[in-house]
């Protein structure tokens, strides 16, 4: 069977894959994996290969984006291929082009979903899923733009929360820190002067979502900017209008100060 199965690995280690995902991996003729779109802090390739009893071929960004995943498509023309991706295959990472190209080549595609950073952050924070607006990535300083600031501003006008995914280069072990992202956004406020992101703005920082040791901290930026979140990966939430239950959750689960009570609507 000519088939390409996209399988989510989850967020932290080799145990994050679903039972169905593991079964699909074991039954594949060829197995490929990319680990450059996100960091899985406790993932071990050797342990995973032992778990699924398969030899895994790691795929680089160049092979997927510059060579259009040719090596994966060629393998899928000859049999069943499993392509393993951190998180959920099409959430916060995009391999849509590969899937489209596979279908154009007569290769059937399927998706085995994994835990997404989006669902994990909602669960950790206690914020209401339906109150999140557009998600945005905060890039490294050399690529910084007004986009993150503008998205936060647009969401706030609609009373919606903003999830900011902080940029990373997993292979190079480079990760944009929460403190650095806050500092850059405050600098953008000095330029834009729209009173969107100030020292008195509430926010929630998250590190290592999906692991056994996540760090979650809610506070006003004047204090959150100096908090030590430990190891990556990192995310940052700018709340919109907060329901009183959301405030209670942030106080209980994210160590928000009692003064957050005045933010409740």
The Cα 146–Cα 191 span in angstroms is 10
Query: What is the reported pLDDT for 214?
Result: 95
pLDDT at 83: 97
Tokens representing 123? 């669960």
Residue-level pLDDT at 92: 63
DSSP state of 184: H
Q: What is the pTM of this model?
A: 0.89
Task: Quote the CA–CA distance of 191 and 201 in Å, as a whole number.
Answer: 17
pLDDT at position 47: 95
Residue 208 C-beta-side C-alpha neighbours within 13 Å = 15
> In whole angstroms, what is the distance from residue 238 CA to residue 236 CA?
7
DSSP-assigned letters across all residues of 88-117: STTSSS--HHHHHHHHHTT-EEEEE----H
**pLDDT of res. 199:** 96
For residue 238, the model assigns a pLDDT of 98
Residue pair 92/166 in contact (Cβ under 8 Å)? The answer is no
Domain positions in the chain: 3-112, 117-263
Closest among 173, 177, 253 to 218, alpha carbons compared: 253
What is the third-level CATH fold of 117-263? 3.30.950
Give the C-alpha distances (Å, rounded to integers) separating 176 from 11, 35, 98, 162.
Answer: 18, 17, 28, 17
d(CA 223, CA 220): 6
> Which CATH number is 3-112 given?
3.40.1010.10
- pLDDT truncated to tens, each residue of the chain (265 aa)? 789 999 999 999 999 999 999 999 999 999 999 988 888 999 999 999 999 999 999 998 888 888 889 999 999 999 999 999 999 998 866 788 899 999 999 999 999 999 998 889 999 999 999 999 999 999 999 988 899 999 999 999 999 999 999 999 888 889 999 999 999 999 999 999 999 999 999 999 999 999 999 999 999 999 999 999 999 999 999 999 999 999 999 999 999 999 999 999 8
């Amino acid at each position: 069977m000519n088939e390409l199965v996209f399988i989510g690995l989850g967020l932290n280690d080799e145990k994050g894959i679903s039972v169905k995902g593991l079964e699909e991996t074991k039954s594949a003729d060829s197995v490929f994996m990319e680990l450059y779109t996100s960091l899985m802090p406790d993932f071990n390739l050797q342990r995973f290969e032992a778990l699924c009893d398969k030899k895994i071929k790691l795929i680089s960004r160049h092979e997927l984006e510059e060579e259009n995943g040719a090596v994966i498509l060629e393998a899928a023309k000859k049999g069943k291929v499993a392509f393993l991706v951190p998180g959920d295959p099409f959430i916060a990472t995009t391999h849509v082009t590969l899937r489209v190209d596979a279908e154009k080549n007569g290769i059937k595609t399927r998706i085995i979903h994994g835990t997404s950073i989006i669902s994990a952050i909602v669960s950790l924070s206690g914020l209401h899923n339906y109150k999140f607006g557009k998600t945005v990535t905060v890039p490294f300083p050399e690529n910084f733009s007004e986009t993150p600031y503008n998205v936060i501003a647009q969401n706030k006008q609609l009373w919606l929360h903003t999830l900011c995914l902080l940029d990373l280069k997993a292979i190079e072990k480079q990760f944009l820190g929460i403190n650095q992202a806050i500092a850059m956004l405050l600098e953008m406020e000095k330029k834009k002067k729209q009173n969107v992101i100030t020292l008195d703005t509430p926010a929630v920082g998250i590190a290592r979502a999906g692991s056994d040791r996540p760090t979650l901290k809610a506070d006003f930026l004047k204090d959150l900017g100096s908090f030590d979140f430990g190891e990556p990966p990192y995310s940052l939430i700018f709340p919109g209008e907060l329901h009183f239950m959301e405030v209670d959750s942030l106080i209980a689960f994210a160590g928000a100060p009692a003064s957050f009570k005045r933010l409740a609507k």
